[in-house]
């Protein structure tokens, strides 16, 4: 007879005994049910967060840093200043490239617009994309990978005041957006994009990936780059050679502040820091949930230990009697293991329902994705292991009780 058969053999009378004095067991089973519901959902959310944090933004995060440019002097020559700054930045040893942009992935601020693939399109034919207004160095500076067509040419680049129309713009789309606009294969190069004002924008290239600036945006991969950069609310981005970023950042700050006093350089940040800040909430959520899981597992484990210890004390005479009737120490341990297994299984059955209930509520309340059912069997297995491990010490103690307790009053 193998161990599993032996366990199953014991289960019948243990279950019948359990159903007759069930108060403590019911409480622990409910605790197990709640534990299962919380840990499956918490782990699911953590996984979801980790998965989102692992999405590539398309940017060479390690080597890129950025800053805001704020002109304040009256009659400031913004365009001349931006061009001079970028020339100076690109000339710095250790700088791979520098560019001017309105926004970039992970920044959490930027703009989006609706575009259509043909002129005079109707409402539902427009699809939104993050709108990156950039220069001819942007792809290289961010480290984006061109997979079709070409990069912008210098002669296509215009500096544009914020409320003015685009001037002869051309566009580069992300692969995801190109596939959406020109299904099925996303052959966008040579085609034309139309904005809401019916401005025709020729598409010259496609990049593999560039996330929109907002990490919780539904269509995170839909982005488009346009060859008109902005004169106000501009940001400089700089790509350093590997290992040079931290040396370059203070140097760039110094260079720019000394070269021109008509504008401010602000919020100089590495892309690594921006990513950490942007995903900070996700990370904090994951840490809180891990703590909740650890705590609830400890509490439930202690509950199981407590119930088993109580039962060992309350059943001293019974355990002595079982020993007298021929139970070996292993049989006594097995009794408590099976009992705990039955309680956690009862909890698991209720908990499985509760898990989906909790998930349903969270889907509706917090707009989370629904729980993947695979988490339930994994959670149940964990609950079983928890139940068996937690009961081991009291079970061993029970098995050490003297058989003579059967005849001695306790």
Partner 1 sequence: MLQMTHISKVFRTDLVQTHALRDFSLNVKEGEFVAVTGPSGSGKTTFLNIAGLLETFDTGTYLLDGKDVSHLSDDSRSRLRNEKIGFIFQGFNLIPDLSVFDNVDVPLRYRGFDGKERRRRIEGALEQVGLASRAKHLPSQLSGGQQQRVAIARALAGTPRILFADEPTGNLDSLMARQVLEMLEEINSSGTTIVMVTHDPELARRAHRNIHVMDGQVSDFTDFSQASAARDALAA
Judged by CB under 8 A, which stretch of 35-43, 98-106, 350-358, 396-404 contacts partner 1? 396-404
Site track for partner 1 across 149-178, x = CB under 8 A: ------------------------------
Residue of the chain from 21, 165, 168, 313 that contacts partner 1 (CB under 8 A): 21
> Does residue 70 interact with partner 1 by CB under 8 A?
no
HEC assignment per residue over the chain:
CCHHHHHHHHHHHHHHHHHHCCHHHHHHHHHHHHHHHHHHHHHHHHHHHHHHHCCCCCCCCCCEEEEEEEECCCCCCHHHHHHHHHHHHHHCCCEEEEEEECCCCCCCCCEEEEEECCCCCCHHHCEEEEEEEECCCHHHHHCCCEEEECCCCHHHCEEECCCCCCCCCCEEEEHHHHHHHCCCCCCCCCCEEEECCCCEEEEEEEECCCCCCCCCCCCCCCEEEECEEECCCEEEEEEECCCCHHHHHHHHHHHHHHHCCCEEEEEEEEHHHHHHHHCHHHHHHHHHHHHHHHHHHHHHHHHHHHHHHHHHHHCHHHHHHHHHCCCCHHHHHHHHHHHHHHHHHHHHHHHHHHHHHHHHHHHHHHCCCCCCCCHHHHHHHHHHHHHHHHHHHHHHHHHHCCHHHHCCCC
Residue of the chain from 73, 84, 325, 385 that contacts partner 1 (CB under 8 A): 325
* CB-nearer residue toward partner 1: 260 or 340: 340
We find the least distance from the C-beta atom of residue 5 to partner 1, in angstroms, to be 11
> Does residue 91 interact with partner 1 by CB under 8 A?
no
> Does residue 313 interact with partner 1 by CB under 8 A?
no
* CB-nearer residue toward partner 1: 29 or 237: 29
Residue of the chain from 324, 378, 385, 389 that contacts partner 1 (CB under 8 A): 324
* CB-nearer residue toward partner 1: 79 or 316: 316
Judged by CB under 8 A, which stretch of 81-89, 250-258, 320-328, 354-362 contacts partner 1? 320-328
Judged by CB under 8 A, which stretch of 16-24, 142-150, 164-172, 208-216 contacts partner 1? 16-24
Contact set with partner 1 (CB under 8 A): 1, 9-10, 13, 16-18, 20-21, 317-318, 321-331, 402-404, 406-409
């Amino acid at each position: 007879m193998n161990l599993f058969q032996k366990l199953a053999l014991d289960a019948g009378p243990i279950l019948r005994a359990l159903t007759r004095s069930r108060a403590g067991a019911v409480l622990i089973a409910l605790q197990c049910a709640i534990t299962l519901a919380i840990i499956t959902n918490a782990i699911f959310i953590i996984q979801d967060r980790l998965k989102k944090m692992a999405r590539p933004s398309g940017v060479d995060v390690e080597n890129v840093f950025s800053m805001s440019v704020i002109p304040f002097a009256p009659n400031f020559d913004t365009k001349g200043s931006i061009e001079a700054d970028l020339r100076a930045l690109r000339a710095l040893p250790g700088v791979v490239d520098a560019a001017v942009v309105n926004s970039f992935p992970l920044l959490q601020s930027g703009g989006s617009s609706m575009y259509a693939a043909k002129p005079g399109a109707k409402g539902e034919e427009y699809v939104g994309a993050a709108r990156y207004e950039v220069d001819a160095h942007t792809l290289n500076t961010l480290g984006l990978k061109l997979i079709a067509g070409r990069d912008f040419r210098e002669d296509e680049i215009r500096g544009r005041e914020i409320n003015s129309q685009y001037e002869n713009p051309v566009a580069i789309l992300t692969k995801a957006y190109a596939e959406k606009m020109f299904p099925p294969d996303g052959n966008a190069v040579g085609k034309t994009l139309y904005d809401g004002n019916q401005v025709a924008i020729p598409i010259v290239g496609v990049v593999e990936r560039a996330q929109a600036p907002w990490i919780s945006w539904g269509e995170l991969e839909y982005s488009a780059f346009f060859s008109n950069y902005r004169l106000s609310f501009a940001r400089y981005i700089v790509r350093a050679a590997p290992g040079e970023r931290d040396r370059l950042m203070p140097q760039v700050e110094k260079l720019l502040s000394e070269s021109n006093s008509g504008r401010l350089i602000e919020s100089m940040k590495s892309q690594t820091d921006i990513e950490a800040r942007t995903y900070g909430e996700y990370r904090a959520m994951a840490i809180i949930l891990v703590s909740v899981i650890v705590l609830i597992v400890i509490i439930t484990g202690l509950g199981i230990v407590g119930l088993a210890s109580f039962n060992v004390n309350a059943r001293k005479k019974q355990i002595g009697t079982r020993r007298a009737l021929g139970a070996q120490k292993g049989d006594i341990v097995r009794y408590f293991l099976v009992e705990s297994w039955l309680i956690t299984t009862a909890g698991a059955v209720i908990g499985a329902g509760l898990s989906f209930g909790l998930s349903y509520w969270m889907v509706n309340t917090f707009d989370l994705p629904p729980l993947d059912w695979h988490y339930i069997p994994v959670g149940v297995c964990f609950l079983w292991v928890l139940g068996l491990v937690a009961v081991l010490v009291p079970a061993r103690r029970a098995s050490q009780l003297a058989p003579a307790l059967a005849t001695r009053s306790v």
